[in-house]
Structure 1
Amino acid sequence: MLRELYIENLAVIEKASIGFTESFNAFTGETGAGKSILINGINAILGQRVTKDIVRTGADKAVISGLFTDIGETVLKQLEEMGVDCEDGQLSLTREIRSDGGSIARVNQRAVNVSLLRDIGDLLVNIHGQHDNQILMSPEKHIDILDGYAGSEELIADYRKSFRELQHVAKKINDLRKEAGRKEMRIGELEDIIADIRALDITDPDEEKQIAAELEVSKNAVAISEAVYAAQLMLSGDDDTEGISELVSECSDKIDGYTDIMAELAPIGERLNSAIIELDDISGELASVLDKLDVDPKRFDWLNQRSDDLRKICKKYGPELSDVISTLEKSEEELEILSSSEQNVKELEAEKDRLLAEVSHKAKTLSDFRRAAAERFVSQVTGELEFLNMPSVKLVVGQETGKLTQNGMDNIEFLISANIGEEPRPIAKIASGGELSRIMLALKSVLAEKDSIDTLIFDEIDTGVSGRAAQKIGLKLREISKHRQVLCVTHLAQIAVMADNHLLIEKNIVGDRTVTAVRTLAHEERKYEIARIMGGDNITELMLENADELLSAVK
């Protein structure tokens, strides 16, 4: 619960330290005294949006700090999951707003993001202001109220998981169908590419180079043949001329007769014999080359055509033959994927049907759960409304099924019949301001039993009510305060007298500046404040006696 609030340089509040009890704390004060500023200060430490305009004129910054104590185990566990340590079950939240527009948030003196402060605030405090009545005026928000009461979180989370899967599959099917026209065109393109390349039966990325080399030889076959023939003739000779091989053989024979006499000639003779063998081998290879140089005209024509075909295919899909082969492989892969996409659509359609059945079943389960909870909800809220002096009001939870959405298949709207015999109609159309306040209080009272939030703040919950209805609101707040800490800003004596801790917000002129102060009232001071609220500034003894009776009656 909020044990203490410290405010410095917030609008007209120069400095204030406010202590709260664990039960019912009421704020009163004249119009314009600064009650809204106090709520703005609490909102600031709860991570809500603030502007530099709330910094007191002439000050560099405004500082608001709240001390929370006796935090429950459920909230402590949630805070621990956020990485927030609460020593002895206490937590300090601080917000600094600079006059230049900057802002600093702190948790236990550690700087944090404002978003974390807001998440923490949602666990600690629930604030009801006049704008919250708009929730009742917005039917699309009624389903959240019912789910909050019903405790539908797990069912909704499970349903939404399946619903998101269904949406994902449906999107994939839609995307595939949108691409159908483009896909058919692309399949045609790929088939042309594949046929074009496959027609040449290319397997070797070096074939173009090999063809070029063979073609070059073929083009120069006559000149090469003449050169090779002349070389062979020089080596082997003919009938009229001795060749080099024969001359070397004669040299060997000349030396061979004297190797026994002169040992140095032996190795030279061996070398000559080796040369003869090598020259004969070369002559044989030249003869083999001559045989190959007998060019086949058909082969020559094929080489030219093949070279031309490879050059053209490289120009289209190259620049290298390896690129052509790579293009073929990639095109075949893409064609396989696109050709199988129709099968994918069929598989996805089957998956969509399965998920649709699953989502529909879960939506039905959720709908039945809500329907059962709605009966209990109506019973409890009706009881609260009767207590709040609205015995004739009949609440109905309108539940219609429609298309599947992220919230299931239900359309929920709260309807009321304000008078006996009238048909229930939408709250937004028939409820007055005072009725809205009491209906919202009834809802808050019922919902408070379902959550772990320790502190409830009501900002002018008494709007549009008076007399006995106001007294009932005060009694209801006092009843809630037995289990939750309640802070209430009010203009009505019937509510203020119910508080255990009465705080006065008053505005004074100090020097040439307006200063707002907040102080706790003792019994005698409460009498005067209650009398002022009931009758204005002209307080009489009778008014004081009435105020004292009201306070005594509550005790």
Structure 2
Amino acid sequence: MEYTGGHMLLNVHIKNIALIEDANINFTDGLNILTGETGAGKSIIMGALKIGMGGKLPKDMLRDPEKEGFCQLLFFIDDESLVKQLQELGVTPSEDGEIIITRRIVNGRTMNTINDQTVTAAKLKDVSALLVDMHAQHEQQILLKKAEHLNIMDKFAKRPLASLKQKYEDCYKTFEDLRKELEEGQMDEGERKRKLEYIRFEAGEIEGARLVPGEDEELEKQYRKMVNAKDIVEAVSEVYSITGYNRNASAGNEIGRALASLKAIKGLDEEIESIFSELTNIDSLLNDFNVSVSDYMQSMEFDESEFHEVEDRLNTINNLKGKYGRTLDDVLAYLEQLKQNEAKLVQYEEYAEELQQKVKTAKKELDQAAEVLSAERKIQAKELCKRVSEALEDLSFNQIRFDMHFDRLTHPGTSGIDDCYFVVSTNVGEKERPLYEVASGGELSRIMLAIKSCMASEDNIDTLIFDEIDVGISGRAASSVAAKLAVISKAHQVISITHLPQIAAMADSHYRIEKVVKDGKTITQISKLDREESVLEIARLLGGAEITNAAVENARDMKELADKAKIH
């Protein structure tokens, strides 16, 4: 079947997970149906898909703990907007438009890659969320949680609501920050005075030290020099003595005698004149060196009081650094903050009044943003409920009324002022009641399918996976679910596990999951069925373990009717 969508899941490769030794499944466009007997391993396939999409790895999931566990998903991408979203996550499809997600489990550790680039499990989940929408068996239970209804609503209308929600969230953060500042700043006169006294004490201690930026580093150098002064002076004095003129054998005296000897004979040969000149330069350099050494020795002369002065200053600075900051700059920055806090406390009434006004303004802006968001939600809720109602009629809910009821929160919350939930009436003359109070298991399955079918057109996710969406339904309702899946699969790739023959008959691609014994071990294997094999599998679903001729004919008729239904 030729691919026509924006992206699809082409292949799933699973190795050494639960009962799966090595399974390779090539999916197609349209409706992909997986069937199998109870216990054959259908849930293992879905579990492996969840692992591949970043889900948690259950303990003892590996078939053979000594071997590598492996799950790989291969996607084809042909959608510029999706490519852009993936690139924002740091993932770029290959030149062939492929995304390969791989999870390897070795020695209890999981390694995740996307197109051979190592990624975190969180990144893997984010990428998978753009490519696949998986409806697990338990997911319909979220319809029984009132708090989830608003999330469904917002997800459906994420594009028209995006800027309004961002505006509200910004206003909410501003209001909360100001409110907390006001709340934390509340104090009586006695407390204000105590805080002011403490601030002034700390500021006075810092200011009294008259700190100069960088002085601690200079003092540290000076202190080290003073501590080591004795050793330094002894060594330098010896150098001065060796190179000076105070001892007969010192370098200065020896060079002086050498100069006298050369001076006496320099007139006898021109070359001696040159040697005499060089030695004169050496004598001059040595003399300059000795002057420098002498100056240095004089600079090292200090009394005990000067040493203690440096030591005390360093202790003062280090004490302040221990209290108020790691560095001198930190201490000075803390002093500046103290001055600002002091100014607030000195002018507390003015500061509190200004802050209260800011809180009032922020609350007004928050309320306005909440009203605008709520109004748009109500408009979008009508559209969602209209679409869901139409989808439910296709799913054999006659004259159903499906709506969303809006209550108002006493105080705006993180999501706005709306406390909303779905209401439904499934029978003529019945009053609408909250969905979480009235729906049965089978009804929840169909309602969730209806919601998913409406969400699919808004999500821009082309691959939808349903794990037994048909729980709790049979008969006419099963046929309507099959028809709805077929309709969805015209615009999306749908992968679904089912136990219902009506749904299996609608398959564009049909796969059988079964247990087999290989080399004395039970394994799960998956095989794609041709048309006749699909008819036999549908017959099994109709009649159980024993496949009768009547069941086969009935299955063949179901398949032909499904083909005709898909044309229309």
Task: Quickly name the TM-score band, shorter chain normalised.
Answer: 0.7 to 0.9
1:9 counterpart (16, 19, 23): 16
Unaligned runs of 5+ in 1: 196-201, 206-317, 320-325
Q: TM-score, normalised by structure 2?
A: 0.72
Residue 232 of structure 1 aligns with which residue? none
Q: Is the 8 A contact 2:344 2:351 kept in 1?
A: no
* Aligned-pair CA distance for 1:191: 8.1
Q: Secondary structure at the match of 2:15?
A: strand
CA distance in 2, matches of 1:126, 1:393: 27
Which one of 377, 387, 396 corresponds to residue 403 of structure 2?
396
8 Å contact kept, 2:132–2:461: yes
Per-residue Cα deviation, 1:205-240 (whole angstroms, up to 9, x for no partner): 9xxxxxxxxxxxxxxxxxxxxxxxxxxxxxxxxxxx
Structure of greater Rg: 1
Match of 1:37 in 2: 44
Q: Does 1:101 align with 2:108?
A: yes
State which of 426, 444, 450 in structure 2 corresponds to 1:436. Answer: 444
Ranges in structure 2 where 5+ consecutive residues have no aligned partner: 1-7, 212-315, 318-331, 564-568
Distance 1:540 1:331 in 2: 90
Q: CA–CA distance in 2 between the matches of 1:333 and 1:4?
A: 63
In structure 2, the CA distance between the partners of 1:163 and 1:545, relative to structure 1 (3 Å rule), is same
In the alignment, what sits opposite 1:145?
A: 152
1:223 match: none
Does the CA-based 8 Å contact 2:77-2:99 persist in structure 1? no
In 2, the alpha carbon distance for the partners of 1:333 and 1:84 equals: 47
**Distance between the aligned counterparts of 1:386 and 1:499, measured in 2?**
22
CA distance in 2, matches of 1:113, 1:190: 47
Which residue is equivalent to 2:171?
Answer: 162
Q: Which moved more, 1:182-191 or 1:47-56?
A: 182-191
Evaluate the alpha carbon distance shift between residue 330 and residue 120 of structure 1 in structure 2; reply closer, same or farther with a 3 A threshold.
closer
Classify 1:378/1:330 alpha carbon distance in 2 versus 1 (closer, same or farther; 3 Å).
closer
Matching residue of 1:174: 183
Deviations 1:65-123 (A, max 9, x none): 1110134222111011111110232100001122x321000101221111110000000
Report the Cα distance in structure 2 between the residues aligned to 1:485 and 1:424, rounded to whole angstroms: 34
Partner residue of 1:467?
Answer: 475
Secondary structure of 2:112's counterpart equals strand
Query: The residue matched to 2:21 in structure 1 has which SS?
Result: strand
1:123 is paired with a residue of what secondary structure?
Answer: helix
Q: 1:129 to 1:334 in 2, by over 3 A?
A: closer
**Residues 274-313 of structure 1 mapped to structure 2, 5 A cutoff:** none
Per the TM alignment, residue 340 of structure 1 is displaced from its structure 2 partner at its CA by: 2.1
Aligned pair partner of 1:383 in 385, 390, 408? 390
Are the structure 2 counterparts of residues 329 and 109 from structure 1 closer, same or farther at C-alpha, using a change threshold of 3 Å?
Answer: closer
> Of residues 380, 401, 405 in structure 2, which corresponds to 1:373?
380
User: 2:466 is paired with a residue of what secondary structure?
Assistant: strand
Please report how far the alpha carbon of residue 54 of structure 1 lies from its aligned counterpart in structure 2 after TM superposition. 1.2
Deviation at 1:331, TM superposition (A): 8.6
Q: Secondary structure at the match of 1:94?
A: strand
**Cα distance in structure 2, aligned partners of 1:513 and 1:350:** 75
Shift of 1:511: 2.6
The correspondence of residues 58-69 of structure 1 with structure 2, limited to 5 A, is 58-69=65-76
The answer (yes or no) to whether the contact 1:74–1:452 under 8 Å persists in 2 is no
1:6-55 Cα distance to aligned partner (Å, 9 max, x none) = 11111111011100011100000000111111111111121111134211
Q: d(CA) in 2 for partners of 1:544 and 1:415?
A: 43
Partner Cα separation in structure 2 for residue 16 and residue 469 of structure 1: 33
Judged with a 3 Å threshold, the aligned counterparts in structure 2 of structure 1 residues 190 and 417 are, in CA distance, closer, same or farther, namely closer
2:360 — aligned with what? 353
Matches within 5 A, 1:39-438: 39-87=46-94, 88-98=96-106, 100-151=107-158, 152-177=161-186, 181-187=190-196, 335-402=342-409, 403-438=411-446
Change (3 A) 1:157 1:551: same
Deviations 1:395-433 (A, max 9, x none): 120111122011111111111112111111111211000
Partners of 1:512 and 1:464 lie apart in 2 by 36
Distance 1:182 1:70, change over 3 A: same
With over 3 angstroms needed to count, the CA separation of the structure-2 counterparts of 1:355 and 1:62, relative to structure 1, is same
Taking the aligned partners of 1:483 and 1:161, their CA distance within structure 2 comes to: 37
Matched, 1:521 2:521: no
Contact 2:33 2:496 in 1 (8 A): yes
1:140 counterpart letter in structure 2: A
Check the 8 A contact 1:124/1:455 in 2, yes or no. yes
Give the distance between the partners of 1:483 and 1:92, measured in 2 at CA: 23
TM-score by length of 1: 0.74
The residue aligned with 2:240 is none
1:103 is paired with a residue whose SS is: strand
Asked whether the equivalents of residues 445 and 480 of structure 1 are also in contact (C-alpha less than 8 Å), the reply is yes
Alpha-carbon offset, residue 190 of structure 1: 7.0
Which residue of 2 is the match for residue 482 of structure 1?
Answer: 490
State the Cα RMSD in Å.
2.9
Instruction: Name the aligned partner's letter for residue 46 of structure 1.
Output: M
- Residue number in structure 1 paired with 2:245: none
